[in-house]
A and B are shown apart, each in its own frame.
Chain A
């Protein structure tokens, strides 16, 4: 079975990317006859008059032909005796950098073209940096147009030194540097008679033999795309195995809830199977009712993060300027949440790699940013579990994909998740959550505000879109075993629940629901019920009311 190599070509304008790929296809006799005819015909009217213009094979859009440039990624498919290839030919103009990034996110290997006359340019560095950011491990630097520098070995060596410097700076794992001429065909598919000093592989030779075995990620994980519930007897979780193997009867953990269950059955295609592996599209059935929906991740044998605050590196791709504090939709894995770019730490100078302080980011800038999400989601660092370390930002109005990036770290293993911080205890109060009715989706959405924290002496907001609290009340956060006292809108105590005695003021639970307790006796009964409870839903139904202080607002 032949393996598949996905690669991209990138580099500055007029470095000859499209010509290079056109030449490989042409030399390898991988063109169908009618395309070849069309090419020869179009060359006559094309930009390079007379001679075959190989780039016309790839520049398929009318605007591209008119302007003689590449605007968007073109995908090409070819097979040699050794390998199948998908190549994404990407634009060189800075203006179309985001389209280059699209190609880079798809590839295992990048060919970066360098013009032998011009050497390593800013755009060369930008592209190498973006490829590295997107996780490409393998690089070929093709030093092109060697015919225009008389196939000079010393010129090649100069450029080679610059490229090696770039390799060190970006910590590129695997690189090859090959002197070529795309128009003349030197070292493309056959060794060039003009450069006897070059002893390495031809470009195609390297593509056919380079080892692209990806490193194996720890454990099994599957982001849930969809829950399939055709009837009451079947409930299956659909998704693609991102890494690892899972077998029937294995115990899995479902994140973010952390509930565990045993695998009852596995379906791949039309077959029930005993085990599933990396890359496969599958359906998983579990042995018990657990809370699983799109965006959850099924895990076995590894740790992932549940986080609402992410340290990231992103590529800003939108025409608008990114400002700190603006809200976007964030997609990571199969989860879509609201979030804010809460901090731009610095932008990266694409040429030197220096860190530059910025208030806002403009198109094609790479920057280190902190994202704060409206609720914690399942993620991990890009280096540990790649799929859960990738994200995009979507503009809430234009719906454009405004940025893409990778997660470097999670920042809220500590206090950030907690709303109420006391001297010895802290509580995850969700009393400021809003409940909205979505008329279009016919659903009720719960929206968690920016994680603010409150301490004794702080004033809290008593009114929201969907709540109105009295000015004096107590909050019982049962899961963290903490109570909070509010008097005239100000927090007067954050302390362990066991120290609490009934005060004769309204009682709320951590979500802002009213607790139907009117006396110290009823309070004792309530606590006893909670502790003995086998079914919290039933116990809550007995003691709690949603509508005491809350209502459901229409979505704005």
Chain B
């Protein structure tokens, strides 16, 4: 008998959680953000129900400012795996010209948080899987695996349901919902090691390549399309960069790196001196900003 490793244990825990939702909730959906954590979660869902397909759809909330390569990757994955991939765009936000350059914090709120709430309401989903991990950020470290949201999709951090052993209480009233985080207990290193072990496809942006970037507030931002606005004194340079997290391209900082293989990425991650969310511009705004957004319904 082969030994049951740390990764095996995390995998089994995640599959158990995913199956609990499929068995207990009426209309679940799996959020798919195209990033590495989502790729791992999707893989776990495929495993959980094999030989059948996952008995729920996947949802990508598109801000319309994602990297081009991400959208291409998303469509290929959905086709290859034969899963139902829904896309939701906050059309009202698009019509109002909301964008990451002019709209500031309202951009994330309108194009991500509001869009997500609209999508969940539109389809009437009562449970939504998210790829959040507790090692990412301090308010996430406090959140339950099954996280209850009221009719306004708000999280009440001071009054969370006790979550004992693996007895997950999914009981809700109409209009309320659950956010479920099957990979809560995974670290960034676990994610990379699992991607390698399972040979999971990820967006090429995670690997180092020559890419056109500008340096802004200490971040290397990729110029992914003609909508990018250069500020005075900024010049576009080609640099060998890769991304540790993927989001909206004008808000996602790359790092200079030579890592072109998974082994090199794992090596780089293990010796990392900066935790991954620093490359997301929104997080460094203020201590507690994530918690504030979660209370308002952000994932």
Contact = CB atoms under 8 A, between A and B. Distances in A.
A62 B5 CA distance: 36
Interface string A300-316: 00000000000000000
A197 interface: no
B19 interface: yes
A443 to B, nearest CB: 12
B231 interface: no
Contacts of B173: 399
B123 interface: no
A314 B123 CA distance: 39
Interface in B139-166: 139, 141-142, 144, 157-158, 160-166
Interface in B37-65: 46-53
Interface stretch (B7-15, B68-76, B101-109, B234-242): B7-15
B287 A42 contact: yes
Contacts of B292: 62
Contact of A317 (B134, B135, B141, B162): B162
Contacts of B224: none
A269 B1 CA distance: 16
A269 B5 CA distance: 15
Contacts of B139: 60-61
Nearest to B134: A75
Given A74-B141, A238-B19, A280-B12, A62 B171 contact: no
B22 interface: yes
A432 interface: no
Nearest to A100: B162
A317 B50 CA distance: 38
A279 B8 contact: yes
A456 B288 CA distance: 69
Contact of B16 (A62, A76, A225, A404): A225
Interface string A279-290: 111010000000
Main secondary structure of the interface of A (DSSP, over half): mixed
B19 A331 contact: no
Interface string A1-32: 11110000000000000000000000000001
B162 A102 contact: yes
Interface in A512-529: none
B196 interface: no
Contacts of A281: 11-12, 15-16, 19, 47-48
Interface stretch (B28-36, B78-86, B91-99, B270-278): B270-278
B171 A394 contact: yes
Contact of A72 (B4, B142, B287): B142
A28 B48 CA distance: 37
B162 A32 contact: no
A85 to B, nearest CB: 11
Interface stretch (A33-41, A352-360, A414-422, A471-479): A33-41
A446 B157 CA distance: 38
A234 interface: yes
Contact of B171 (A72, A101, A105, A399): A399
A149 interface: no
A225 B20 contact: yes
Contacts of A101: 162, 164
A34 B169 contact: no
Contacts of A329: 171
B257 interface: no
Interface in A82-127: 84, 86, 98-99, 101-102, 105-106
Given A77-B135, A279-B12, A399-B173, A32 B158 contact: no
Most chain B CB neighbours (cut-off 10 Å) among A59, A84, A332, A401: A401
A60 B272 CA distance: 22
Given A61-B142, A102-B164, A240-B12, 13 more contacts: A4-B6, A32-B274, A42-B287, A63-B157, A72-B160, A75-B184, A228-B49, A230-B52, A230-B53, A277-B1, A278-B4, A279-B8, A280-B8
25 contacts: A1-B5, A33-B273, A58-B138, A60-B138, A63-B157, A65-B287, A75-B134, A76-B135, A84-B6, A86-B185, A226-B22, A228-B49, A228-B52, A230-B51, A238-B48, A267-B50, A270-B46, A270-B47, A277-B4, A279-B8, A281-B47, A294-B23, A392-B164, A399-B171, A401-B163
State the 5 A-B residue pairs at the shortest beta-carbon distance, nearest first.
A60-B138, A230-B52, A32-B275, A281-B15, A399-B171
